[in-house]
Structure 1
């Protein structure tokens, strides 16, 4: 019977009405603090995981993992592509020609990076084919001067499929009449949308058309590589350049988006640390609750000691009471946090639709919606941390209760 004593009495103390209502208030505050801390931590980490996942799949799905270039362009790029695709980590190779320029249509102007691609190879290194709103990459036929625009870029220019746009490149053409900027008229043949800032500053044209515009002849600007592990891009790029020898240079995705990825990872760690403080404060409140309960229950503890309860049993009573308060708060917090993490994207879209606002503008942020990705490992770590802090918070009050001497308490009863 005495073995079950700490468990039974500890749960009874949780349910019992107290003479001191302040103790009940502190207990409720501790429970609510744990619930809030656990729920918010699960939600925030899920959102950060969502940003991380979208960066990997969408943004880095459009941005090449690595690029190999040579001064003056690559002439025999097919042979080089054949060599690179034989490497263990390289799973796709595609040629490209990049040209920075400014589009103009109907009095609207917008700068963009125009990438000349070969539709036959592009699917090996990019996900653009899966995000076409209208048209297709196959419409980029050599000599027809078609262009595929990002959805935001098309909206800013006020154009749609079938409209004409003028591309101004930052190079001058010298003619008998003087020096004129180089211009070329394109027909919009498609519009893509990946829900990222790339929609506002990226366009695609046929690689042969861009070779003509850039006056490269048969050469291409370089080769875009898709790797089996994007985090091995830096190492693999250096290895490729070293193997190819002088005259070649390589770039990987960390040059253009590495800082963003590192910022997300650091923010995730810092936010997790800060929100854990909320849980720690709530757990500290349990210390206050149990200390006051111990003071309130001096007579009960003395009586229990006189009928045979050991200091260990007394200590167990208050550990059980503190853990019960903590577990209830943790369970409610986990349930609320998981529910919010699974529905936050739809909730935000509903609020945006209801009030006609947009929280994330793709012109400012790299995606235009709030992603969420629940990781059960994060939930497990949060629960373990909250439970550990709760358990540690019960030790000091329980130790104080176990040290109470029955003779001193009952002397004045």
Structure 2
């Protein structure tokens, strides 16, 4: 082992006459540990929100929708054409209606989406998130409906109950102007853990056309892409090559702001939390400055024995880097453990105390997600070690400038 490493580690492990220096060293190490752990944990939670947005919200919301002015009369042929474009993973028809749903005196505004049960799995995660019933129960002419679990809880309905759908278009009758009303049978309940559970109802595509008194088969064609980030350009390329009066919309117009907000928050929170690590690095500077002052006589003796200024500098760099290394390693371990267990821990606390940290009525998901990305861990670890290294430069340089004659004058 080289002399600087041996002496630096010996200084780190030795008991100090000045206990305040030991306290500052310990606080520097603890600060580095907490800073790294919190940074890993918070960024993992932000990654979890980003993942849930992509997999849950955008698993139900179309990546893109192709519309034909006046409605699509032959969606099967158009779907066959669109599915042949590169990057397209699935195609399914869609019709949307807005209305209000009531049961037992309770009323809720909803979005009614008409789908083809056989094609829905190609573009949506809905079939995989049914908690009661099945998508295939939506048979044409039976006017069945699938409800989100939060909507079902609000209306207090279960499978088999009949709910009343009221559409905004008025109908003239001998009794006057009446809203269009239809009784639907609840055939299933789904839960995607998002805001859609509170305001979305799914019906058969043909039933939706009858409810809306539409003269066409579908309002639009949902298109799922292999890469959702290529959806805006991909759907534009599709529309520009189709023969007819087509236009399109994509997920960036409906949920793009939320996605970009999460990305920006992750960046800003990461930078702010990195300040905690920087504060711990400044504590390392304070520690080493005091150690240099305390060890001036030892430095002078080493110099008189032939140690070069670069050797003295390396000794104190080893000591400072060791403090930072221990803090970073402990913080990384704690951060990884926290990132892997935070979701289960929060769920346990919610169950224990009977409250919800994230309510689906307010947030777009109803639980605290976490996704640990090893590249984030690598960046945080490398950044923290870099700050620790930079923090050692000035005190080490100052130690190398100690003059033996001045330091030993009064010894």
Band the TM-score falls in, shorter-chain normalisation: over 0.9
Say if 2:146 and 2:202, in contact at 8 Å, map to a contact too. yes
Moved more, 46-55 or 213-222: 213-222
CA distance in 1, matches of 2:290, 2:128: 62
Which residue in the other structure is 1:17 paired with? 15
Say if 2:55 is the partner of 1:57.
yes
Question: 46, 49, 69: which is aligned to 1:71?
Answer: 69
CA distance in 2, matches of 1:77, 1:339: 50
Moved more, 295-304 or 50-59: 50-59
Say if 2:94 is the partner of 1:96.
yes
- The correspondence of residues 151-300 of structure 1 with structure 2, limited to 5 A, is 151-244=149-242, 247-300=245-298
CA distance in 2, matches of 1:208, 1:341: 46
1:255-296 CA distances to partner (integer Å, 9 max, x unpaired)?
A: 111111111100100010000000001001100110010011
Shift of 1:317: 0.4
Secondary structure of the residue aligned to 2:124 is: coil
Which residue in the other structure is 2:123 paired with? 125
CA distance in 1, matches of 2:273, 2:229: 28
How many residues end up aligned between the 2 structures? 411
TM-score (norm. length: structure 1): 0.98
Structure 1: runs of 5 or more not aligned: none
Secondary structure of the residue aligned to 2:71 is: strand
Secondary structure of the residue aligned to 1:161 is: coil
Secondary structure of the residue aligned to 1:44 is: helix
Task: Flag the 1:170–1:357 CA change in 2: closer, same or farther, 3 A.
Answer: same
Shift of 1:143: 0.7
Which residue in the other structure is 2:27 paired with? 29
CA distance in 2, matches of 1:237, 1:177: 47
CA distance in 2, matches of 1:246, 1:92: 21
Say if 2:63 and 2:250, in contact at 8 Å, map to a contact too. yes
Question: 336, 339, 343: which is aligned to 1:338?
Answer: 336
Moved more, 155-164 or 207-216: 207-216
Shift of 1:245: 5.7
Secondary structure of the residue aligned to 1:352 is: helix
CA distance in 1, matches of 2:271, 2:81: 47
CA distance in 2, matches of 1:163, 1:54: 31
Question: 103, 106, 114: which is aligned to 1:105?
Answer: 103
Shift of 1:71: 2.2
Which of structure 1's runs of 4+ aligned residues deviate more than 6 A? none
Say if 2:95 and 2:115, in contact at 8 Å, map to a contact too. yes
Structure 2: runs of 5 or more not aligned: none
CA distance in 2, matches of 1:240, 1:30: 58
Shift of 1:177: 3.3
CA distance in 1, matches of 2:244, 2:74: 16
1:178-198 CA distances to partner (integer Å, 9 max, x unpaired)?
A: 221111100000000011111
CA distance in 2, matches of 1:112, 1:244: 33
Question: 142, 145, 156: which is aligned to 1:147?
Answer: 145
CA distance in 2, matches of 1:59, 1:218: 28
1:34-69 CA distances to partner (integer Å, 9 max, x unpaired)?
A: 000000000001111111111111111111100011
1:355-405 CA distances to partner (integer Å, 9 max, x unpaired)?
A: 111000001000000011111111111000000000000000000000111
